[in-house]
Amino acid sequence: MGNFETLSDQELVTAAGRGSQAYFGELVDRHTTLAYRVARSITGSHEEAEDVVQETFLRAFKNLDKFDESKSTFKTWLLTIARNQSINIINSLRRKTLKFFSDHDDDDPEIEFSSNPLSQQPRDAEELLSIKQQFYAMDKALKKLPERQRTALLLKSQENMSYDEIAAVMDVSVSSVESLIFRARKKMIELVER
Amino acid sequence: MSHLDYQKRISLLQDGELNESSARDLLAHLTECPDCMRVYEDMGSLNGTLATVKLSLPDGSLASKVKAGIAVGRREFGYSWNFVLLKQVPVWALIAILAVGVGNIAGKTLTDALSGQDSTPKLESLLQDNGESLTDVVLDFGQGENSQ
């Protein structure tokens, strides 16, 4: 398995297309977290997001022969599937008149401290509380954004994807991505300051 | 240019999506406009926090679940594909037989039925119209050869 790590996504796709499930497994390892975050940002639910990720990879595996590397990267293609699956689930839930997004204030924000070496570990209980409150406020604010703004902002700020890539995933123009991210940031600043 | 336009450019600048000349204009504006400078600082702070917060992490076992799901799905997919092939071949064979049968009933060949044209006049125009069919001509020709 160790050798797979040196291969590019495209090389893995080609090998997986010849029927090797092990190569596809490496793609799963690489992109599960990202697909989950996109699904979670849209569905707002851990369980739904996990279902979306499973369905997304299954569809990707079945349709690997339809992936065209000249049109997009594997990551972009996969996230497009994940986003469409998430939206399908949301629409399905809405049809069933189920509430998809909980605004309960007592929900766990499900935030973890970054593994980024630049981020400092809290020195004492007071600092820990302060950081938790800041992250909690961030999570709450994100949940209040419209889905498209939240997805665009998270793909940029968490995954550092280019505007072109985000536009491809969300099936919108680059200028729409600019607008979505700008409005998301303005709204976030407003919400966090409150 | 309005302050709102400059603030849109702040967002682009912080994402590395602003061209050099626009970035120079923006930075010159920021030195003169405290409102836009505050937006610049607020967005920078927000981006820094968002980048370091790990929101929505999946369970560690999710990738394993996905792989197991694919292994099961692959078997099911393989079965269903074979099933589709087995089901489809007889259907196409039946369609072909029906097409030939219908063509014969209508007195036309399959080519005529499919093209919507009657090819018989073209063939017959090549022969002399002396009341004989093509079969008669061929048989006569054969009889002539045998009698020689």
What is the number of residues in chain B? 148
Measured between alpha carbons, how far is B99 from B11 in angstroms, rounded to an integer?
A: 66
- Model-level ipTM above the cut of 0.90: no
CATH number of domain containing A72: 1.10.1740.10
Claim to verify: residue A91 and residue A130 sit in the same structural domain: no
- Do A138 and A81 belong together in one domain? no
| Identity of the highest mean pLDDT range in A104-108, A172-176, B68-72 | A172-176
Considering only alpha carbons, which residue of chain B is nearest residue A138? B50
Residue B97 belongs to a domain: yes
Same domain, A147 and A192: yes
Q: Closest by alpha carbon to B122, among B135, B113, B134, B130?
A: B134
Give a yes or no: residue B117 inside a domain.
no
Domain-embedded: residue A111: no
Mean pLDDT of chain A: 82
Same domain, A16 and A94: yes
Of A147, A173, A151, the residue nearest A161 (C-alpha): A151
The pLDDT of residue B6: 95
> Tokens standing for A1?
């398995």
A108 is a domain residue:
no
CA dist A63 → A57, A98, B97 (Å): 10, 31, 34
**Distance between CA atoms of A162 and A182, rounded to whole angstroms?**
14
Q: Which of A41, A51, A58, A145 to mutate against chain B (most B CBs within 10 Å)?
A: A58
Q: Which residue has the tokens 């291969």?
A: A7
Cα gap A130→A125, rounded to integer Å: 9
Q: Two tokens at A10?
A: 């495209």
Any chain A CB within 8 A of the CB of B7?
A: yes
Is the CB of B17 less than 8 angstroms away from the CB of A162? yes
Domain encompassing residue A190: 122-194
Best of B5, B6, B8, B15 to disrupt the A interface (most A CBs within 10 Å) is B15
CB proximity list for A91: less than 8 A, separation 6 or greater: none
Domain that holds residue B29: 3-52
Which of A91-100, A132-141, A185-194 shows the lowest mean pLDDT across its residues? A91-100
Q: Does B139 touch chain A (CB under 8 A)?
A: no
Task: Please give the residue of chain B at the shortest CA–CA distance from A24.
Answer: B67
Q: Which residues of A touch B60 (CB under 8 A)?
A: none
Same domain, B47 and B64: no
Q: Is residue B13 part of a domain?
A: yes
Q: Same domain, yes or no, for A87 and A26?
A: yes
Query: Which sign does the torsion angle of CA A19, A21, A22, A24 carry?
Result: positive
Domains identified in chain B, total number: 2
Do A60 and A19 have their domain in common? yes
Same domain, A137 and A181: yes
B43 in any annotated domain:
yes
Same domain? For A92 and A137 the reply is: no
Q: Which of residues 42-61 of B touch A (CB under 8 A)?
A: 42-43, 46-47, 49-59
Separation between Cα atoms, residue B36 and residue B12, nearest integer Å: 14
Determine whether A169 is exposed, middle or buried from the number of CB atoms within 10 Å of its CB (0-12, 13-18, 19+).
Answer: buried
User: Residue range A32-43: average pLDDT?
Assistant: 90
Which segments in chain B show pLDDT lower than 50? 78-87, 148
Which pLDDT value is given to residue A113? 41
Q: Do the domain assignments include residue A3?
A: no
pLDDT above 70 covers what percent of chain A?
A: 80
In this prediction, residues A73-87 reach a mean pLDDT of 93
Q: A–B: how many Cβ contacts below 8 A?
A: 115
Check residue A117 and give its pLDDT. Answer: 36
Pairing of strands B54-55, A111-112: antiparallel
Let me know if residue B86 belongs to a domain.
yes
B18 within domain boundaries: yes
* Residue recorded with tokens 């063509």: B103
Burial B19-56 (b: 16+ CB within 10 A, else e): eeeeeeebeebbeeeeebeebbebbeebbebbbbbbbb
Q: Are residues B14 and B48 in the same domain?
A: yes
Of residues A33, A154, A163, nearest to B58 (C-beta): A33
Domain membership flag for residue B140: no
Containing A126, the helix (H) or strand (E) segment is helix A125-144
Residue A110, pLDDT > 50, answer no
> Of A42 and B130, which is predicted with more confidence?
A42
Do B34 and B75 have their domain in common? no
Q: Can you tell me the mean pLDDT for A140-157?
A: 91
Q: What is the mean pLDDT of residues A41-62?
A: 90
Into how many domains does chain A fold?
2
Would you place residue A81 in the very low, low, confident or very high pLDDT band (cuts 50, 70, 90)? Answer: very high
DSSP A73: -
d(CA B72, CA B54): 32
Cβ separation of A182 and B7 shorter than 8 Å? yes
- The Cα–Cα gap between A35 and A188 comes to 23
Closest CA to A38 of A64, A12, A77, A71: A77
